Amino acid sequence: MDTHVIQHFTTLTPAELDHWSDQRLTAVEAALSNWISPDAPAGLGQAMRYAVLDGGKRLRPMLVLAAREAVGNGVKDDALDAAALRAACAVELIHAYSLVHDDMPCMDNDVLRRGKPTVHVKFGEAQALLAGDALQALAFELLAPENNDASASDAGVHIPDHVQARLCRLLAKAAGFNGMAGGQAIDLASVGLALNEHQLREMHHLKTGALLEASVMMGAACGDTTGQVWDCLQRYGRAIGLAFQVVDDILDVTADSVTLGKTAGKDAANDKPTYVSLLGLTRAQEYADHLLAEALKALQDSGLASTYTLVALAQRVVNRKT
């Protein structure tokens, strides 16, 4: 797919995407703040809230909500909309827990995340470990709500059991040994090794891409889809998931810590294999552009009418500077 074809996709302008995102972010931030209780025992709630609130791009929740809107095609459904908001928050909780654990001394040993001290630096290693554990558990609690929970913002709305189960399975698989945890295990075992492109792609697909792909598919699960639409959205999610990591590798060598909000240059310092170390900077950027083209072609093949937000999010992933 040529780059000139990409320009003909119906998309949102940056200002329109910002407006769309701001509206959804308001709902996501309010829901996260409501669901992450500050009253958890012994200060645990404060560590959990510190790990999640007031920071982050919220790309994964935005992908959930954009995919839900694409398959919903403008038709409002209170139950499925509630499911999508819960899915958006749940995937962000899993992402946040993974960052808390990844930053700890036994893993990446990082001291800066989202422009502030990492959770273990702020609260200590034991509290950080527990905060991550609690966030992971809370994610699945959100996906299977009690119908009699009067305190929930969607109280009185019954999310179908099969939707709850499907969302739990998608998230669990993306977070476990077949996804994020497995990818992190490969990453830790690969320090100092010369991986080939296939091995690097598989590691990044699991470590980073699986949760981004799951975000798209969880949004798709909050609606009725044909097999073709499901497959195309999966192709889109897989391409965007890998593109995100390729761009992350590029930014690790081209941006500074203040811009990134995390420690720049740490991959090279830790002798970790990256797309830049394997392909070089120019070819890595070309590969990111190729993955964007793959993602947009998948949306084109889906036949969905309302994919312009997904198009804009894909473009932002590849063209971002932080």
pLDDT at 133: 97
Cα–Cα nearest to 259, from 151, 158, 112, 152 = 112
pLDDT at 249: 92
Q: 117-142: per-residue pLDDT in tens?
A: 999 999 999 999 999 999 999 999 99
Q: What is the pLDDT along the chain (322 residues), one digit of tens a residue?
A: 444 444 456 789 999 999 999 999 999 999 999 999 999 999 999 999 999 997 788 999 999 999 999 999 878 899 999 999 999 999 999 999 999 999 999 998 899 988 899 999 999 999 999 999 999 999 999 999 987 565 677 777 899 999 999 999 999 999 999 999 999 999 989 888 888 999 999 999 999 999 999 999 999 999 999 999 999 999 999 999 999 999 999 998 887 656 656 565 566 556 678 899 999 999 999 999 999 999 999 999 999 999 999 999 999 999 998 7
Name the average pLDDT for the chain.
90
pLDDT at 257: 58
| Domains along the chain with CATH numbers | 3-319 (1.10.600.10)
Helix (H, G, I), strand (E, B), or coil: what is residue 249? helix
3-state secondary structure string across the chain: CCHHHHCCCCCCCHHHHHHHHHHHHHHHHHHHHHHCCCCCHHHHHHHHHHHHCCCCCCHHHHHHHHHHHHHHCCCCCHHHHHHHHHHHHHHHHHHHHHHHHHCCCCCCCCCEECCEECHHHHHCHHHHHHHHHHHHHHHHHHHCCCCCCCCCCCCCCCCCHHHHHHHHHHHHHHHCCCCHHHHHHHHHHCCCCCCCHHHHHHHHHHHHHHHHHHHHHHHHHCCCCCHHHHHHHHHHHHHHHHHHHHHHHHHHHHCCHHHHCCCCCHHHHCCCCCHHHHHCHHHHHHHHHHHHHHHHHHHHHHCCCCCHHHHHHHHHHHHCCC
Q: 198-254: per-residue pLDDT in tens?
A: 999 999 999 999 999 999 999 999 999 999 999 999 999 999 999 999 999 999 888
State pTM to two decimals: 0.92
pLDDT at 5: 44
pLDDT at 200: 93
pLDDT at 1: 41
